[in-house]
Amino acid sequence: MAGVLLIAAAVLTGLFLIMTKIPGVLQNIRKQKGNTGSRRRSFYRFAKAFYCFFAWVLLIVCLIMTLNCQILYHASTFSHQYFGKEEGNYTSVELFRLYNMVAGECNRLAELVERDETGMVTYIGADGTEISTRYDDKWEKGLADMADEARNLMKQLGETYSQLDGWYPRPKAMLFSDFMCQQHMQGYYFPFSMEANYNDVMHILNIPSTMCHELAHLRGYIYEDEANFIGYLACVESEDNFFQYAGNLSVLNYLYNDMYKLWKTNPAVYEETAAVIQPIAVSEQVWEDNIFVSDAEWERINDKAIIDTEIVDKAADAFIDTNLKVNGIADGKVSYSRVVTLLLQYYGQNEIK
């Protein structure tokens, strides 16, 4: 907001400066206010000081963005650091096995997680606080416990992957989560304060992996597929069924889409592999849990929205896609799905259970 106001002030000041240089306009001002020479000189001094301040602010913003964001796109990748390779050739059999493992875990954990009387998954905090929806009066306390658990899991992951070691701040809920929902945005890494932010309006099962995902950005892993992978790994290594379920759900769609893509592009290979490894059917309960925002929340958001959700979503997609491509990620938003490659690399080194 402060940035928007500063830019608006710079534009208005610039327009006024231009107007004072137009003879006809200047003459009209003099007729209305008399001799404005001293006022004009004061305004010029103000404009000079303002634009000097504006230039310094812009320089600092660019420096922070470069050091805490842009430069990270050119850093070593997680694959290169810990798997010793960037890409890999994987067979349909490996993809089927990975999909079955994740789908099987989702089916199993869907029956183990705690639920309230409506069937909504609940999270039980450190002191037994139980939350399921944002309208619960214990919501804020439960989210704080969830954030602390996410921090602990990331620290625990740092024992295996040294780059992830160290202190983590508590992830914060975004103030404008309704607007984030319109953009289909789950979280945001803010480079100016080095904060991990998450959308607290989305379905509760999206929150754990998002917290870990955004915390991964704080350790220099700016690529979305890497943050997706780290978020998944942190959650599934938890002893909490809720976190495990959330972690597996966070990658289920990516695997499902890759399976579907294989079926569409190479049906012969798909059928041949399926004859050996039958794909597991995902339970109806899992699909009910696997949502971004509940229908009730969508209705509330759309009723109060100033701008139509479809317009906001398209604009956000275009911005994110362009930003990723500008930073050297040729496939833009599609890069999120490359988490499947990281999962295959990881389980290539660690046998699927």
Where does the pLDDT of residue 1 fall: very low under 50, low under 70, confident under 90, or very high at 90 and above? Answer: low
For the ranges 42-51, 147-156, 321-330, which has the lowest average pLDDT?
321-330
**pLDDT, mean over the chain:** 83
pLDDT recorded at residue 38:
66
Question: Which carries the bigger pLDDT value, residue 217 or residue 37?
Answer: 217
Cα separation, 244 vs 199, whole angstroms: 20
Cα separation, 183 vs 316, whole angstroms: 6
Dihedral sign from CA coordinates of 149, 209, 345, 103:
positive
Where does the pLDDT of residue 332 fall: very low under 50, low under 70, confident under 90, or very high at 90 and above? Answer: very low
Q: Which two tokens stand for residue 221?
A: 């892993």
Cα separation, 120 vs 281, whole angstroms: 22
The beta-strand segments (E) located in the chain are 123-124, 130-131, 172-173, 187-190, 195-198
Task: List CB contacts of 80: < 8 A, sequence separation 6 or more.
Answer: 86
Answer yes or no: pTM beyond 0.75: yes
Where does the pLDDT of residue 175 fall: very low under 50, low under 70, confident under 90, or very high at 90 and above? Answer: confident
Place of tokens 């964001």: 69
Per-residue pLDDT of 286-300, as tens digits, reads 999 999 999 899 999
Question: Which carries the bigger pLDDT value, residue 169 or residue 28?
Answer: 169
pLDDT recorded at residue 333:
44
Cα separation, 152 vs 227, whole angstroms: 16
CB 97 within 8 A of CB 276: no
For the ranges 31-40, 184-193, 311-320, 325-334, which has the lowest average pLDDT?
325-334
Question: Which carries the bigger pLDDT value, residue 87 or residue 98?
Answer: 98
Place of tokens 């470069």: 66
How many Cβ atoms from other residues are within 10 Å of residue 276's Cβ?
9
For the ranges 136-145, 228-237, 248-257, which has the lowest average pLDDT?
136-145
User: What residues pair up with 190 in beta bridges, in sequence order?
Assistant: 195
Place of tokens 């842009």: 70
| Rounded percentage of the chain residues whose pLDDT exceeds 90 | 50
pLDDT recorded at residue 310:
78
* Across 237-250, average pLDDT: 96
* Across 185-203, average pLDDT: 90
Per-residue pLDDT of 121-134, as tens digits, reads 999 988 888 898 88
b/e per residue 136-165 (b: at least 16 CB within 10 A): beebeebbbbbbbbbbebbbebbeebebbe
Q: Which two tokens stand for residue 7?
A: 């830019």
CA distances, 323 to each of 72, 192, 251, 282 (Å):
14, 17, 23, 35
* 184 three-class SS: coil
Tell me 115's DSSP state: B
